[in-house]
A and B are shown apart, each in its own frame.
Chain A
Amino acid sequence: MSRKSERLVNLTIALLATKRWLTKSQIFTSIDGYEGEPDAMERMFERDKDDLRNLGITIEVGSFDPLFEDEVGYRIRPESYKAHISSISPRELSLISLATQAWQGAVLDSTALSALVKLKSLGIDSDFDSIPAIAPSVHISDTNFLTIINAIAQRQVISFSYLNAEFEPESRVIEPFGAGTKSGYWYVAGRDLDRKEERLFRLDRFDSEVKVQGKPSAYEIPETFLMSSALSVPEEREIATIKVRRDKAHSLRSKAVSIAEGDDWTTLEVPFVRESELMSDVLWHGADAVILAPERLRQSAINALTEIVQRHG
């Protein structure tokens, strides 16, 4: 176990320190841990290169002499290995530190911690006293989220099974563009390759593990794409007039754009995008909330209530 990690570190040191290309045979003789038959060492080296690449360390391949292409050598450029964030103020470091705390117990917990450790290595003090007391928290433990953000970073197509409105699984193939959270739910936006348009998916409606398909850099994220727009509420909204009993229906009151208090009843003007959602919000309050307008909505409330009475009577 630990031999492997030591070999990876030694390989990194050797490839970082060298000014010239190191050939495989030089690597095998100078670095501890490459043992056994030539074939076995070759395979070990290939795996190690992949592992370092997965850690974000780029190994360059080149040759000493362009005329002899078989003499391939390897090295890691310090310039590509190291972080290029140098100027961070104590307050900025404190904000980053606070930002990483949001992930405690969630799926990016160790990722956030390693980011913070790297930035603290700059040797800057933090300055927590000058930032307000905020405790950000996210609680996503869904490992599909990891797959999705890695796919977005690599621009890789993903496929998954998604529950439709009738709770039936449908298979989807998308180019993921962005991810985000709102009202406690997590979303991924992307271009649905079968439906040929941009769609938004909620992570808790996924019915399978996300699979990554094909190669990296398979598509480009449109320059106009903004996750904040993908998650924003449409501008076109209708207004419903609803009367609610005095001191009742708090959640409707908090959404109202105008409130006219009466004796027993208060009249609210409530904007809405989806009829079904407004209907649920109103029906939740039973006899404490009544839709007055638009007539279409008032009629569907009457129909729904009649149906409920018939079914349960």
Chain B
Amino acid sequence: MAKKSTPIEKAARMLDLVPFITSHQGISTRDLASQFGITEDELLSDLNSLWMCGDNRFDLIDLQFDSGYVTIRNAETLNLIRSLSQQEIISILIGLDLIEKNLSADRSDIVAEIAALRLKLGESTSRILDATPAQDGQILAIIKKALSDQKKIHISYFSPTDDEITERDITPLHLSVSDGRDFVTAFCDSASAQRTFRVDRIQSAVPLDTPASLTVVPTSNQDLVKTALKISRNIRRSREMLGTFVTGDGAEVSVSSYNSEWLSRTVISAAGAIEVTESSEIRSRIADLAAQTLKEYR
């Protein structure tokens, strides 16, 4: 799980444990650890430290947790919920923003509740934040549910490289994150193979009642095509278009990709700023594509 906490993080957690246990008397050490995002061992270490706390002249905290269930008494002084830090408020406000922008139009009740929460958390912090989700949170929720229920879903998927929208029944297998985006790896019935889909390109998703197809099919090994490129202007933008596939500093770069169609489209859309230097096969492919396009302008 998380990295080892610092003494300061531990102290903060000990302070926060007191009011939490007070309002959840008898909670199991297991649940308590998971609420705080720590292991049970870490929690026991926290509780042992807390048990020894309290000023001799004042009261010692009466903390019981031998049975695997935690109760607390005599902690009046610390039984205060600490005020939320700016960072904590910011984390909530950004999350609320993402939820609000994913609501369907008929949920004005929740829009109103989020507005009320913003007031409680601080309007002045709210206005300096703005978060628009990169993808549809309702679609991600459908995928997550299908994963846990082991059910299929029907999706419409847009592929910019193939310039087509396809309809597929898929069985989600796992979610992953790459370059800041969510991906779902799934068994695709139409392809009869495992495929990975970018969640923000799934245009719609409908849960199906069909149980999962769990045939494990090895992914086909495509060949990586390595290409050398020279960027003559708009270097930052050109590099960003080549995305995570780019290596090398500055203007002379190389790109490894599975898809030469994607590469030619990217090069031509850079409007002349990117030149392929190797291989000659890709060079002529791009020259042909540009020449054909040019013909449409004559």
Contacting residue for B287 out of A9, A115, A119, A312, CB 8 A: A312
Q: Are B87 and A83 in contact (CB under 8 A)?
A: no
Q: How far is the CB of A191 from chain B (nearest CB, A)?
A: 13
Contacting residue for A131 out of B89, B110, B272, CB 8 A: B110
> Nearest A residue to B21 by beta-carbon distance?
A121
B140 within 8 A of A: yes
A177 within 8 A of B: yes
Q: Are A311 and B275 in contact (CB under 8 A)?
A: yes
Task: State A298–B283 Cα separation when bound (angstroms).
Answer: 24
Within residues 104 to 162 of chain A, which ones have a CB less than 8 A from any CB in chain B? 105, 108-115, 117-123, 131-140, 146, 149-150, 152-153
Contacting residue for B127 out of A99, A118, A121, A225, CB 8 A: A225
Q: How many residues of A contact B (CB 8 A)?
A: 120
Number of residue pairs spanning A and B whose beta carbons lie under 8 angstroms apart? 367
Among A36-44, A61-69, A84-92, A255-263, which stretch is in contact with chain B?
Answer: A84-92
> Nearest B residue to A56 by beta-carbon distance?
B85
Contacting residue for B290 out of A95, A221, A312, CB 8 A: A312
Q: How far is the CB of A288 from chain B (nearest CB, A)?
A: 7
Q: Are B145 and A133 in contact (CB under 8 A)?
A: yes
Task: State A283–B292 Cα separation when bound (angstroms).
Answer: 12
Q: Are B2 and A54 in contact (CB under 8 A)?
A: no
A195 within 8 A of B: no
Contacts of A268 in B (CB 8 A): none
A246 within 8 A of B: no
Contacts of A280 in B (CB 8 A): 241, 269-271
B83 within 8 A of A: yes
Contacting residue for A113 out of B36, B58, B143, B235, CB 8 A: B36
Q: Are B235 and A166 in contact (CB under 8 A)?
A: yes
Task: State A149–B236 Cα separation when bound (angstroms).
Answer: 25
Contacts of B181 in A (CB 8 A): 139, 184
Q: Are A101 and B286 in contact (CB under 8 A)?
A: no
- Contact mask B20-40 → A, CB, 8 Å, 1/0? 101110000000000111000
Q: Are B81 and A96 in contact (CB under 8 A)?
A: no
A267 within 8 A of B: no
Q: Are B293 and A115 in contact (CB under 8 A)?
A: no
Task: State A16–B83 Cα separation when bound (angstroms).
Answer: 14
- Assuming the contacts A13-B77, A56-B82, asked whether A30 and B99 have C-beta atoms less than 8 A apart, the reply is no
Task: State A18–B26 Cα separation when bound (angstroms).
Answer: 30
A212 within 8 A of B: no
Q: Are B7 and A305 in contact (CB under 8 A)?
A: no
Q: Are A283 and B268 in contact (CB under 8 A)?
A: yes
B206 within 8 A of A: no
Task: State A311–B127 Cα separation when bound (angstroms).
Answer: 49
Among B45-53, B63-71, B186-194, B214-222, which stretch is in contact with chain A?
Answer: B45-53
Q: Are A135 and B132 in contact (CB under 8 A)?
A: no
Which secondary structure dominates where chain A touches chain B? helix
Q: How far is the CB of B111 from chain A (nearest CB, A)?
A: 11
- Contact mask A179-197 → B, CB, 8 Å, 1/0? 1111110000000000000
- Contact mask B280-297 → A, CB, 8 Å, 1/0? 000110110111111111
Contacts of B177 in A (CB 8 A): 105, 139
Contacts of B137 in A (CB 8 A): 134-137
Q: How many residues of B contact A (CB 8 A)?
A: 120
Q: Are B163 and A285 in contact (CB under 8 A)?
A: yes
Q: Are B99 and A16 in contact (CB under 8 A)?
A: no
Contacts of B52 in A (CB 8 A): 6
Q: Are B20 and A120 in contact (CB under 8 A)?
A: yes
Q: Are B49 and A95 in contact (CB under 8 A)?
A: no
Within residues 53 to 85 of chain A, which ones have a CB less than 8 A from any CB in chain B? 54-57, 78, 80-85
Task: State A89–B132 Cα separation when bound (angstroms).
Answer: 25
Contacts of A105 in B (CB 8 A): 177
Q: Are B94 and A16 in contact (CB under 8 A)?
A: no
Q: Are B98 and A9 in contact (CB under 8 A)?
A: no
B197 within 8 A of A: no
Task: State A1–B163 Cα separation when bound (angstroms).
Answer: 58
Within residues 83 to 114 of chain B, which ones have a CB less than 8 A from any CB in chain A? 83-96, 98-99, 102-104, 107, 110, 113-114
Q: Are B50 and A9 in contact (CB under 8 A)?
A: yes
Q: Are B84 and A118 in contact (CB under 8 A)?
A: yes
> Nearest A residue to B282 by beta-carbon distance?
A312
Q: Are A149 and B87 in contact (CB under 8 A)?
A: yes
- Assuming the contacts A110-B37, A306-B294, asked whether A82 and B80 have C-beta atoms less than 8 A apart, the reply is yes
> Nearest A residue to B125 by beta-carbon distance?
A153
Q: What residues of chain A have their CB less than 8 Å away from a CB belonging to chain B?
A: 1-2, 4-6, 8-10, 12-14, 16-17, 30-31, 51, 54-57, 78, 80-85, 88-89, 91-92, 95-96, 98-103, 105, 108-115, 117-123, 131-140, 146, 149-150, 152-153, 163-167, 177-184, 205, 221, 225-228, 230-231, 248-251, 276, 279-281, 283-288, 290, 298, 300-309, 311-313
Given contacts A13-B54, A96-B117, A301-B271, 10 further A-B contacts (CB under 8 A): A2-B7, A4-B8, A82-B82, A102-B94, A108-B90, A132-B138, A152-B128, A165-B236, A178-B128, A305-B268
The 4 closest A-B pairs by CB, nearest first: A99-B95, A123-B23, A178-B128, A115-B88
The 25 listed contacts between A and B (C-beta, < 8 Å) are A9-B15, A13-B78, A17-B58, A81-B82, A88-B120, A99-B92, A100-B91, A108-B94, A112-B92, A114-B12, A115-B88, A120-B23, A133-B138, A134-B140, A135-B137, A135-B138, A138-B94, A139-B177, A149-B86, A165-B234, A166-B233, A180-B94, A283-B271, A305-B297, A309-B290
